[in-house]
Structure 1
Amino acid sequence: MKKISFYKGGLAFLYLIIIGFSLSYTPASANKVLRPMQSLRQQSQISGIITDGTNPLPGVTISIKGKATAGTISDFNGQYQITAAPTDILVFSFMGFVTVTQPIDGRKILNVQLQEDATQLQEVKINVGYYSVKESERTGSIAKITSKDIENQPVTNVLATMQGKMAGVDIVQDSGSPGGSFTIKIRGQNSLRADGNQPLYIIDGVPYSSETIGSTATSGTAPTLTSPLNSINPSDVESIEVLKDADATAIYGSRGANGVVLITTKKGKAGVTRFSINSSSSFGTVTDTPKLMNTQQYLAMRKQAFVNDGVTVYPSSAYDVNGTWSPNRYTDWQDKLIGGTAKIYTLQGSVSGGSDRTHYLLSGNYRTETTVFPGDFKYTKGSGHFSMHHTSDDERFKITFSANYTSQNNNQPAVDLTAVSRTLAPNAPDLHDAKGALNWENGTWTNPLAGLQSEVESRINDLVANTVLSYRFLPNLEFKTSFGFTDLDNNESRTQPSTMYNPSFGLGSKSSSIATNFTNRSSWIVEPQIHYNVAIRKGRFEALLGSTLQNQRTERLYQFGSGFASNSLIHDLASATTKAVRLSDVTIYKYQALFARLNYTWDSRYILNLTGRRDGSSRFGPGKQFGTFGAVGTAWLFSNEAFLKGNSILSFGKLRASYGITGNDQIGDYQFLDTYISTGNNYQGTIGLQPTRLFNPEFGWESNKKFEVALETGFLRDRIFLTTAYYFNRSSNQLVGAPLPGITGFSSLYGNLDATVENSGFELTLRTVNLTGEHFEWSTNFNISVNRNKLISFPGLKRSTYANTYVVGEPTSIIKVYHYTGMNSTTGVYEFEDINSDGITTALGDRQALADLTPSYFGGLSNQFRYKGVQLDFLFQFVKQEAFGALPGVPGTLVNQLASVADSAAQQPYTAGKNGSVITAYNRFGSSDAALQDASYVRLKNISLTYDLPLKLSQGLRCQLYWQGQNLLTFTKYTNGDPEFKFGGYLPPLRVNAVGVKLTF
C-alpha cells in the first residue's frame, strides 16, 4: 500500500508541475512547456514476469536507472508493473541473485530471468535441525538438495532424488517393483549389524522411524521389506539436508551416529492466492537385461551335455530335447515375463497464499503405477499436505503447523519372475492354451504365471504432524517448543490360492492359505528449547539449550489361516478351517535427552561451535541407559583476513575441522530382557510359553568417534566453488548378537563386542557457473566420494564364530571366496588353490581370497542449461565396483545360460547332471574370485527438459511443458543385467519416461 501511495504522490507532483507551466505560459516559453508534456505522453506502463528460470520470484525490486523516485516490487506470481519512458533502463535486484539491467527499448512487456549469485548464496541459511546457520559460517559437513533438484525426477521415493547428487551419500535401489525400498549409507558402514547403519530421518522436526515395516512372510517381490519413506511425497519436499560429520550430528546424540537426513516440506508464502496443477504420465520398462542363448544354442548345449555324460537315449524328463517340446519354438522369456510397460499417472494440485502475518499451503497428490509383470497389479498412493504459519503483530509470537497424510494401496505378485525369465528353456511351452487358461503342458513344466496367482496386498496409512510455538521475550532471547506426532498403520496379506498349483495334483481350495500382518507404529515427541544470542564488540555469541521427550509404541499381529471352502473367501480369515496366531506383541521405546549448543564467532573470521547431548534410551538395561555425546567444530574464514581483502581471484575461503563422539542404540526393543512367546500349545488348560531371549543387562551404547577437516574455496566471485573434505571415523563397542551353542537353547545373545570399525574417505564437490548471459546460462555440479572401510581390531576373532566372516585389516563387507587357478589341462574342469595344502578343497579351509562388493568410489556430474523459456537438466551417475556374474545353474542342465556360455572353449565340459566333479567345480566357481566382474557403470540417471509457454501477461497464467527421464542410458561391462542392482534374482530399476504439464495461476 505504501508503494501505491508513493506512485500516486509522484503523479500528483507531476500534475502540479504541468499546471504551473500552463499558468506561466508565454510564447517564449512554449517550446520549454512542450518538451516535458511530450515526455509525459511518451511514458507508458511496462509489465512482465520475473523468474529464476523455473519458478516466479516474488519480492524482486524493480527501479529505473538514474531515477531514485520510481520503483516497485514483484508480486507473489513474479509479476510487476511500472511506468517508464521508452528510453529508460530498468534495474532488477533481489537477494541471492545477480542484479540485472534491461533497456526498455520501446517494449511494453519485459520478462526477466534472474540468475543465482553464488557469492550471495554463501549467506543462505542452512537447516541443521535445531538451528540454522549461514552457508559461509557452518562448521559442519552438510549436503543439500532443494525442490529444484527434486521436482525434475519422476520418482516416488525421496531417496531416489538424492542418488548421485550428494558426496558421501551412497544410495542403491533395492528393487524396481512399485513401493520397493532403498539402501542408504552415509560415509560407510559403521556397525557390524546390517540393521545398525540406518540414518536418522527428521521430517519437519519430527523423528521418523527408518525401521522397515511388515513381515518377510507377507512381503512382496522386493528383496527387502516395505520402505516407510514411500509415505513422503517428493513433490511436497522443499529441501533435503544430510548431516554427516560429528559437528553437525552430535546435537542428535545417539540417533545421529549414522548421519541425519532432514526433510523439510514446502510452506506457504505471503501474496495473492495462487493455484498450481501438475499432471504427468510416465512409462517404465526394465533397464538392462542380459543376452541369453536362443533355442539353437540352448539345444546344442543340452545335446552336447548328454554326449559328455555318455547318455545316448534322452530320459523322459528331458522334455526340451526328447521331442516333448518343439525344437523349433523360441520365446524371449525376459520379454514375456518382465518386458511389460509400467504405466504411471500422477496428479498434483496446490493452493497457497496469505498475508505477511499469516500464510498457508494446501496440496494434494494422487499417483497410480502398474508393473512390468503380466497381470493386473497396481500401486496407488494419495497424499495431502498442509502447512500454516502465523506471526503476531508485534512479531514476538509465532506458530507453525504442518501435517502430511499418505494412504497407499499396493497390490503386487508374491513372486518375482526376473530369475525364472533368465533360466527358463527358450523352447518351453506357451503360457496359455487355446482357451486362454494357464497351460500346464500335461504336467511337463511349472507355468511361471501360476506364481502370479499368489498376491501380496499392503495398505498403509501414515500421518506426520508437527506444531512449533515460539515467543521472543527479548530481542535476543526466544523460547520455542516443538510438538510432533506420527501414526502409521500397515495391513499386509499374502495369499496362496490352490489355483497356483498344477490341477493334476488334485488340490482343492482346502490347500489355499493366507498370511496376514498388521503393524501399528505411533510416536509423539516434545522438544522445548531456549535460544539466546548477543553481540559483544567484534564477537557474536549464540546459545541453545533444549530437551527431548519421545515415546514410540509398536503393535504387531501376525496370523495364518488355511483350508477355505472357496478361494473367494481366502481374504476372510474367519472362513479358514485352520487358524493360528504366529506372533502378537507390543513394544514401547522411550527416549529422553538434554542437548546444548554454544557458538562463538569473532570478527567474521574465527568460529567455534560446541554441541553436546545427554541421551537416555529404554533399549539398555539398568545402569546402561544413559550416554553423553558431543562435538567441537571450528572454522577459519581466511578470505576475510586483511591480506586477502580486495583479492580478485579468491572470493571465498574457509578451513574447517570437527571432532566428536556419537552413540548408537539401533538394536530393537527389549534386547536386554528375558522374553517369551506363546507356543500355541494347550497343556491342561494352559497355553505354554517358550523363552526367546536371555537376560543381559551389561551391554550399552555403541561409540562412534568422528573427525573431519575440510577446505572450501570460491574463485572469481564464486563462479568456481570447490569443497574438499577428509574424514576419519571409528565405531567401537559393537552391538551384535554373539552366537551361542545349540545346547543352550538360544541362537545368540546380544552384547558389546570389543571390535572397532574404521571408515575414512575423501569427498570433493565442485560447482561452476560456466556461462551467463541475457538469454543463456550454463552451470555444472560435480561430486566424487572415496570411502575405505576397515576392521581395525577384533580380539579373539580366530576363536569366534565370526572367524570365517571377518578379517582384521580388511573391510567388514568382504566375502571370503575360493581362489581360481584355471582349468585342468586334461579334464577341463575348474581348479582352485588348496590354501591349507591338505589335498582337498573345502569351504572352511580354502575360501580365503577376499571379494569386496562395496564401491571403490562413486559420484555424479550434472549440468543445467537455460535458454529463454527452455531449461535442460541432466545428471550422470557413476560407480566403480565389482559384482558376481550370472550363475543360473550348471551349463548343460535344464537351465538357460548367457549367450557367451555357447563358447564351450571357455567353459567346463557341459553336463546334464551326471558329472559330479563338474557340478562341484561349477558351484565353487560361483563362490570364487573368477566369478567377479567389473560392474562399474556410468548412467544417465536423470534428464529433464522444460519449456515455458510464452503466454500473455494479462492472462495471469503460467504453463510449463516438460519431459523427464530416469535411468535412461547405462554404460557398463557388466554381463548380468543392471549393474546397480546386483541381487540378480529380483526386478532391477526401471527406465522411466514422463511427459507432463504444470499450470500456475
Structure 2
Amino acid sequence: MNKNSIGKKWCCYLMALSLYSPFCFSNPHSYETNPELKGSRDKGKGVCVFTAQQQQQQITGTVTDQNGMVMPGVTVVVPGTTNSTITDANGQFSITAEEGAVLVFSFMGYKDVTVTVTGSRIVNVTLQEDATALQEVTVNAGYYTVKDKERTGSIAKITSKDIEKQPVSNVLAAMQGRMAGVDIIQDGGTAGGGFQIKIRGVNSLRADGNSPLYIIDGVPYSSETIGYSQTTTGMATPTSPLNSINPSDIESIEVLKDADATAIYGSRGANGVVLITTKKGKAGKTKFSLNSLTGVGKVARFLELMNTEQYLAMRRQAYVNDGIANYPANAYDVNGTWDQSRYTDWQKELIGGTAEITDIQFGVSGGSAQMQYLLSGSRRKETTVIPGDFDYNRTAVHFNMNHTSDDSKFKVSFSGGYTLQDNKQPATDLTKLSRTLAPNAPALYDVNGDLNWENNTFQNPLASLNSFSTVDTKDLFTNAILTYSVLPNLEIKTNFGYTNVKNHEQRLIPSTVSNPAQNITSANSQMYDNFTERNSVLFEPQLNWKKKFAKSTLDVLVGGTAQKQITERMYAQAGGVASNALITNLASASIKLILASDITEYKYQAFFGRINYNYKEKYILNATGRRDGSSRFGPGKQFATFGALGAAWIFSNENILKQSKILSFGKLRMSYGATGNDQIGDYQFLNTYSTTSLNYQGIVGLEPTRLYNPDYGWESSTKIEAALEAGFLNDRIFLTGAWYRNRSSNQLVGIPLPGTTGFTTLNANLAATVENKGIEVTLRTVNFSMKDFKWTTNFNISAARNKLVAFPGLSGSTFANTYVVGEPTSIIKVYEFTGVNPQTGLYEVADLNGDGIINAIGDRQKTMDLTPKYFGGFQNQFQYRDWQLDFLFQFVKQQVSNYTPNVSAGYNVNQSTTMLNAWQQIGDSAPYQMYTTGANSAAATAFSRYASSDAMIVDGSYIRLKNIALIYALPLGLKGINCKLSLQGQNVLTFTHYKGGDPEFRYTNYLPPLRVFTAGIQLNF
C-alpha cells in the first residue's frame, strides 16, 4: 500500500470520528456549519476535511510589579477572543488557553507583557512601569473624562495613593502642597475645624464669595457654613463641611482651574471646581480590608516668653517709668500677693497636652464583570491638647454598586454615604491666655484638688472650660447614575443626587465658669442653640455622541441641571434653668428668645454643552458653554450665559518629532472664557425685615433691614491661560509651565448710601474689577526605576499677583480705608514706623501727609501686601523591595502679621523675650519702647500706632516637612493575606525665621495646627 492510500485511509477514518465527535458542531469547517462541505457529503464526493483541535489547558500564575509586590486588577486576555480574566487581590489568575496561544497582561501605567503558552501550566509575570502610559491616564473633568495628554484645560490631580499616606481627617489637608495654584490654609489645631482654600487667588471682594465648587461623584456639595459663630466660639472656625467625607473613601481629587475646565459649570465655577471621586467596587473575588491607626498630636511651636525673673523686672521697671512709687493693691504679681519665686510655663500647662487619635476602617469589595460592589465603614476619634474631656468623633459608612447589562448597553452606578459627627470643644480657646498669663500666677488647683481662686485674686483659666460647644452633624449623601447606549456612538446618561445635612450646635455657659465667691447661680446660666437642616435634590440628564472618522474624532455633549436646595434654621438663646444639669434642655429654661428662624429656598437650573474635535491626535479644539439660572437674583437678571474655548497642539506627534529620542511628549494649549458667581446668599435682592427691640402697646413691630434692588445680577470672571507640557526621555522628565490671568468684575458689594435713607448700603453690582495672574510650574522626574529600587520626585511652584484694577467711587465708599486701586485686595493699610525716639523712649511713625498731626486718615496709608509671593511643594517617593518612603516639603514665601499681646510691654501680661531689649534711659538706641503699665497715656498711644504699623509685618516664609510616611509590606507567608505596617507624620518639622508661633496659621490667638505622628496596620485578605 502506498503512502497516498495510507493517508487517504487515515484521513477518512479521522473524518468519520469527527462526524460523531461533540466538537464537530463547533468546528467552523464541519459539514454542519459549512454548506459547501455539507453539499459535498450529500453528493457522496470523496472529500475529506479535518481541522486539528488543540488541547485546552488551565494556565495559572501570579503577577507582580518590579518591586515584587503583587498586582490585583491586572487584565489577562487572549487577543482576538472573548477569553479574559483579571488578577485577584493576591495578584493571581487562572485562564484556559491552547498551547501556542498568546496571553497579554495589561495594567494602566505599566508596559504590556506578552507571553506565549507552552507546555508549562504556571506563568508568573512581572510588569514594569511605563512613564509614557501616564499620558493615557483618564482625568475627570466633571461632566466628561479625557485622557491627560488630550486635555485642553488646566486640571490638577491627586489619587488615593497620596491621600492614604497622610494621617488627616479632612480631604483639604491632604491637598496641601501637592497642587500648583491651590493655596490651602488650616484654620487651627481644633479637631473638626475648617480650612481656607483659594484656587488661583481671590476673585471676589466679598469674603464669602471665594469658595470653590465641590462636586462629589457628580453631585454638588455646598461649602456654605452651616453654623453660627455664637455657638462655636471656641473653635477657630465652624466645623468644616468637608469633614463629612472620609479621606480613605476617596479614589481621586481633581481641581479644575482655568476657563476651559470650569466654564461648563457656569456660575458655580468662577473660583475653581474641586471634583471628589469616591472609591468604586472592582470585579474579582471578594476582598476584605482592615486598617487601624493610632497616634498623638501636640503643638509644634511655642513662643519664647519671659520667665518669672524677667517678667517681674519688666513690671517693676514699668512702674518706675510711669512714676508710680507704690504698687497698686490689685497688682498681685508684683506686690507680694503671689509667690514671686513661682514659675509656670503656661503654654505647656494649658495647650501643651497630647491629643490622642484612633482610626479604624474596614471594607469589603468584589463582584463579577457585570456587577461590582464596595462597602466600607470607619470610626475616628480625636481628643485635644487642652485640658478637659473634649473630643471629636466621626463614624462613616460608604457604599458603591455598579451594574452592567449583558449586552453592555445599560449601566447603573449608585454611591451613598452617611456620616455622624459629634464634636465637643471648649468654648474658650486657652491659647491666648497661655501666652499672656503672668508666669508667677498661682497653681490651678488648691491642696484639696479644687479649682484655686487664690483668695479671689486669681481668675482660674480652667473654670472657663466648664463652658463648651457641641456640634452634632448628620450627613447623608446619595448619587445614582444611569447610562444607556442607544447606538454605538450615542449614549444617554442621567444623574440623580440627594444630600441631607442636619447640624445641631449648642454653646453652654453654666454658672460654674465664675468664682463661687460671686454667688452666681444656675439661674444666670445661658445656652445658645442652633439647628440647621439643608436638603438638596439634583437632576441632570445628559446626551453624549462620539464619532470616530478616518483621521479625527468628534465628541458632543449636551445636558441640563435642575437643583433645589432648602435650608431651615433656628437660632435661640435660653437661660434661667433650675440646675446646670438641665442646661442642655431648652424646655427647662424659664427665659427663651428666638434670635433667628427662617426657611430659605434656592433654585438653580442650567443647560450646558461641549464640543470636542480631535484631528490626527495632534490638533484639539474644545468648546464649552452653559446657560445658568439662579433664584438669588432679581427678575430679568436671573439668567446668564458663560462659555470657554480651549485648544491644544500635540506637537510631539508631528512627523519631524515622532522619532525623537529626547522629546517623548510635547503639547501647547490655550484657553479663554467666562464664568460667573452667585455665592451671595439667598434673597439678597429683596426687601427684608426683622423684629425690632421697640414695641408699641406691647406689640412688637418690624423694621426694614435691606432695600429691594431688582438689578442685582451676576458677578462674572474672564479667564485666559497659555501652557506648555513637555516630556523627555520617555517621560522620565515631565515639565508643565502655565501662565494665567483672571479678571472678575461686576462685583456684588454694598454701595454706600446717605444716612438720610435709613440704610448704610445697598446690595448692588459695582464696576470694580479684580485681577489675578501668575505662573505655575510642575516637574516630575523618574530618577531611578529598577527592579528593587525606584525613586520619583514631584515638584510644583506657583507665583501669583492679585490686583484691584478698578473701583469707581472708591474714595467715597466704605472701602476707602481698605482698598487701593492698583494694589492687591489682601493689603492692609499701616503707619510707617520710624523707630524709637532715643530721647522720649516712645515709638514713632511717619507723618505721611506732612500736616504735623498723626492720625489714621492722613497717615495710616502705607500698604503692605500679605499675599504669598510664591508657594509650592517638593515630594519624593522611594521604593526598595518591601519598603516605601514618601515625604513632602511644603514651602511659602510670604509676609505675615507678627505676634503681639495687644498691649505694650509693662502691663500685667507676659511678653516675648524679644521685649527684653527695650529702651531704658535717654540716649538708648533700642528696637522697643520703654515699659509702661498703661498709666502713661503717651506710651499707650505710641504703642497703638506701633501695633498698626509696618513694624508688625514680618517675614513669615517657611519650609515645612508637611508629611512623611514609611510603609513596610510584611512578608507573612500566608496565602491570600497581605499586611502593611506604616509610620506617618504630619506637620513634622518647620524651618522659619518667624517668632510668632506657626507661620502658616495667621491667627495668633487660636490653637495652631498640631504636629501628628501615627502608627498603623493594614490587612488585605
- Name the TM-score, length of structure 2 as normaliser: 0.90
Higher deviation after alignment, 734-743 or 527-536: 734-743
CA contact under 8 A between 1:949 and 1:958: conserved in structure 2? yes
For the residue of structure 2 that corresponds to 1:442, the secondary structure is coil
Question: Structure 1: which amino acid aligns with 2:366?
Answer: G
1:327 equivalent in structure 2 = 340
Which one of 976, 982, 986 corresponds to residue 1002 of structure 2?
A: 982
2:38 equivalent in structure 1 = none
Distance 1:116 1:671 in 2: 55
CA contact under 8 A between 2:739 and 2:776: conserved in structure 1? yes
Q: Does 1:899 align with 2:881?
A: no
CA contact under 8 A between 1:50 and 1:79: conserved in structure 2? no
For the residue of structure 1 that corresponds to 2:940, the secondary structure is helix
| Alpha-carbon offset, residue 965 of structure 1 | 0.3
2:189 equivalent in structure 1 = 176
Distance 2:236 2:858 in 1: 31
1:348 equivalent in structure 2 = 361
1:36 equivalent in structure 2 = none
Number of residue pairs aligned between Structure 1 and Structure 2 = 950
Which one of 806, 828, 839 corresponds to residue 793 of structure 1?
A: 806
Q: Deviations over 1:673-722 (max 9, x none)?
A: 01112347765575422222110111211110000000000000000000
1:230-249 to structure 2, matched below 5 A, reads: 230-249=243-262
Distance 1:657 1:897 in 2: 54
CA contact under 8 A between 2:66 and 2:786: conserved in structure 1? no
For the residue of structure 1 that corresponds to 2:230, the secondary structure is coil
2:446 equivalent in structure 1 = 433
Question: Structure 2: which amino acid aligns with 1:370?
Answer: T
For the residue of structure 1 that corresponds to 2:274, the secondary structure is strand
Distance 1:167 1:112 in 2: 37
1:699 equivalent in structure 2 = 712
CA contact under 8 A between 1:53 and 1:871: conserved in structure 2? no
For the residue of structure 1 that corresponds to 2:202, the secondary structure is coil
Question: Structure 2: which amino acid aligns with 1:952?
Answer: G
CA contact under 8 A between 2:638 and 2:713: conserved in structure 1? yes
Q: Does 1:830 align with 2:843?
A: yes
| Alpha-carbon offset, residue 557 of structure 1 | 0.2
Distance 2:58 2:608 in 1: 60
Distance 1:231 1:55 in 2: 33
2:830 equivalent in structure 1 = 817
Distance 1:482 1:47 in 2: 40
For the residue of structure 2 that corresponds to 1:443, the secondary structure is coil
Distance 2:805 2:236 in 1: 31
Which one of 932, 935, 942 corresponds to residue 921 of structure 1?
A: 942
Which one of 945, 949, 957 corresponds to residue 936 of structure 1?
A: 957
Higher deviation after alignment, 211-220 or 602-611: 211-220
| Alpha-carbon offset, residue 57 of structure 1 | 2.6
For structure 2, which runs of at least 5 residues remain unmatched after alignment?
A: 1-22, 24-56, 919-925
Q: Deviations over 1:877-906 (max 9, x none)?
A: 000011111211210110000112112243
CA contact under 8 A between 1:50 and 1:74: conserved in structure 2? no
CA contact under 8 A between 1:53 and 1:114: conserved in structure 2? no
For the residue of structure 2 that corresponds to 1:393, the secondary structure is coil
CA contact under 8 A between 2:108 and 2:137: conserved in structure 1? no
CA contact under 8 A between 1:512 and 1:567: conserved in structure 2? yes
Distance 1:358 1:859 in 2: 42
Q: 1:58 to 1:600 in 2, by over 3 A?
A: same
Higher deviation after alignment, 745-754 or 443-452: 745-754
1:60-71 to structure 2, matched below 5 A, reads: 60=74
Q: Does 1:196 align with 2:217?
A: no
Q: 1:348 to 1:53 in 2, by over 3 A?
A: farther
| Alpha-carbon offset, residue 839 of structure 1 | 1.1
| Structure with bigger gyration radius | 2
CA contact under 8 A between 2:835 and 2:927: conserved in structure 1? no
1:230-269 to structure 2, matched below 5 A, reads: 230-269=243-282
| Alpha-carbon offset, residue 453 of structure 1 | 0.8
Q: 1:505 to 1:913 in 2, by over 3 A?
A: same
Q: Deviations over 1:2-61 (max 9, x none)?
A: xxxxxxx9xxxxxxxxxxxxxxxxxxxxxxxxxxxxxxxxx9998546258698533436
Distance 1:562 1:61 in 2: 66
Distance 2:877 2:268 in 1: 36
Distance 1:76 1:628 in 2: 49
1:169-318 to structure 2, matched below 5 A, reads: 169-318=182-331
CA contact under 8 A between 1:457 and 1:492: conserved in structure 2? yes
Q: 1:925 to 1:486 in 2, by over 3 A?
A: same
Q: 1:557 to 1:680 in 2, by over 3 A?
A: farther
Which one of 337, 356, 376 corresponds to residue 363 of structure 1?
A: 376
1:474-553 to structure 2, matched below 5 A, reads: 474-553=487-566
CA contact under 8 A between 2:69 and 2:882: conserved in structure 1? no
Distance 2:542 2:68 in 1: 37
1:956 equivalent in structure 2 = 976
Higher deviation after alignment, 819-828 or 967-976: 819-828
| Alpha-carbon offset, residue 79 of structure 1 | 2.4
For the residue of structure 1 that corresponds to 2:183, the secondary structure is strand
For the residue of structure 2 that corresponds to 1:704, the secondary structure is strand
Distance 2:504 2:691 in 1: 22
Which one of 682, 702, 710 corresponds to residue 669 of structure 1?
A: 682
* RMSD of aligned Cα (Å): 2.5
Distance 1:62 1:694 in 2: 68
1:12 equivalent in structure 2 = none
Distance 1:945 1:916 in 2: 58
Higher deviation after alignment, 968-977 or 732-741: 732-741
1:690 equivalent in structure 2 = 703
1:363-402 to structure 2, matched below 5 A, reads: 363-402=376-415
Distance 2:891 2:165 in 1: 19
CA contact under 8 A between 1:147 and 1:239: conserved in structure 2? yes
Distance 1:424 1:115 in 2: 61
Distance 1:54 1:189 in 2: 47
Q: 1:910 to 1:643 in 2, by over 3 A?
A: same
1:735 equivalent in structure 2 = 748
For the residue of structure 1 that corresponds to 2:455, the secondary structure is helix
For structure 1, which runs of at least 5 residues remain unmatched after alignment?
A: 1-8, 10-42
CA contact under 8 A between 2:68 and 2:881: conserved in structure 1? no
Distance 1:177 1:740 in 2: 41
Q: Does 1:996 align with 2:996?
A: no
Q: Does 1:596 align with 2:636?
A: no
1:966 equivalent in structure 2 = 986
Q: 1:952 to 1:92 in 2, by over 3 A?
A: farther
Which one of 618, 622, 629 corresponds to residue 642 of structure 2?
A: 629
Distance 1:540 1:58 in 2: 33
CA contact under 8 A between 2:87 and 2:284: conserved in structure 1? no
CA contact under 8 A between 2:216 and 2:275: conserved in structure 1? yes
1:40 equivalent in structure 2 = none
CA contact under 8 A between 2:235 and 2:427: conserved in structure 1? no
| Alpha-carbon offset, residue 746 of structure 1 | 2.9
Distance 1:249 1:769 in 2: 31
1:756 equivalent in structure 2 = 769
Higher deviation after alignment, 716-725 or 907-916: 907-916
Distance 2:128 2:157 in 1: 19
CA contact under 8 A between 2:59 and 2:123: conserved in structure 1? no
1:24-35 to structure 2, matched below 5 A, reads: none
Distance 2:423 2:660 in 1: 59
Q: Deviations over 1:848-889 (max 9, x none)?
A: 111111111000000000011100000000000111112112
Distance 2:225 2:555 in 1: 38
Distance 1:898 1:100 in 2: 65
CA contact under 8 A between 1:53 and 1:113: conserved in structure 2? no
Work out the percentage of aligned pairs sharing the same amino acid: 62
Distance 1:385 1:789 in 2: 40
| Alpha-carbon offset, residue 747 of structure 1 | 3.8
Distance 2:557 2:393 in 1: 43
